[in-house]
């Protein structure tokens, strides 16, 4: 059995998230998703939605076998627990594949690191970014 891990913030789910998780699930038999905790998100705006809500929403998606919150101190703790064969990064995630591979080697975790393909919008006004969804809400509702 091939175990796959995907990870991300998953704030305000959109078709790009689903594409990423479907692609990750297709790389193995079981997909585990690690949801970043709000306090650990420093590379972009803090998530709008609470940690547990984001975890529950991702866990409810068909491609996902389990969804867990990330560790507060060490992003590799849930990866060590899950012991995946493959880690799949989103197409636009800020992570450096080589740095992750190096950290995995240092910890004795034997798995490959792949990068998912991006999704092309299916129609003119399809939004594939939480930031763009928030911007649209503010434009139309604020």
14 annotated to bind ligand: yes
Three-state secondary structure readout of the chain: CCEEEEEECCCCCCHHHHHHHHHHHCCCCEEEEEECCHHHCCCCCCCCCCHHHHHHHHHCCCCCCEEEECCCCCCCHHHHHHCCCEEEECCCCCCCHHHHHHHHHHCCCCCEEEECCCCCCCCCCCCCCHHHHHHHHHHHHC
Q: Is 63 annotated as a binding residue?
A: no
Please tell me whether 16 is known to bind a ligand: yes
Distance CA(78)–CA(76), nearest Å, equals 6
Is 9 annotated as contributing to ligand binding?
yes
Rounded distance, CA 53 to CA 27, Å?
26
Q: Answer yes or no: is 17 a known binding residue.
A: yes
Is 15 annotated in a binding site? The answer is yes
- Is 10 among the annotated ligand-binding positions? yes
| Tokens coding 33 | 């998703």
Binding residues for ATP, by number, are: 9-10, 14-17, 92
As annotated, the binding site includes: 9-10, 14-17, 92
């Amino acid at each position: 059995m091939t175990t796959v891990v995907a990870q991300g913030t998953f704030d305000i789910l959109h078709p790009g998230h689903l594409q990423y998780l479907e692609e990750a699930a297709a790389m193995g038999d079981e997909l585990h998703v690690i949801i970043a905790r709000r306090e650990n998100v420093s590379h972009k705006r803090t998530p709008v939605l609470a940690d547990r809500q984001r975890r529950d929403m991702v866990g409810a998606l068909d491609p996902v076998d389990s969804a867990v919150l990330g560790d507060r101190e060490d992003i590799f703790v849930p990866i060590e627990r899950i012991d995946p064969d493959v880690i799949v990064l989103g197409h636009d995630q800020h992570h450096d594949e080589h740095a992750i591979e190096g950290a995995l080697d240092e910890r004795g975790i034997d798995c490959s690191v792949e990068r998912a393909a991006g999704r092309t919008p299916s129609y003119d006004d399809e939004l594939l970014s939480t930031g763009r969804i928030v911007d649209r809400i503010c434009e139309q509702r604020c």
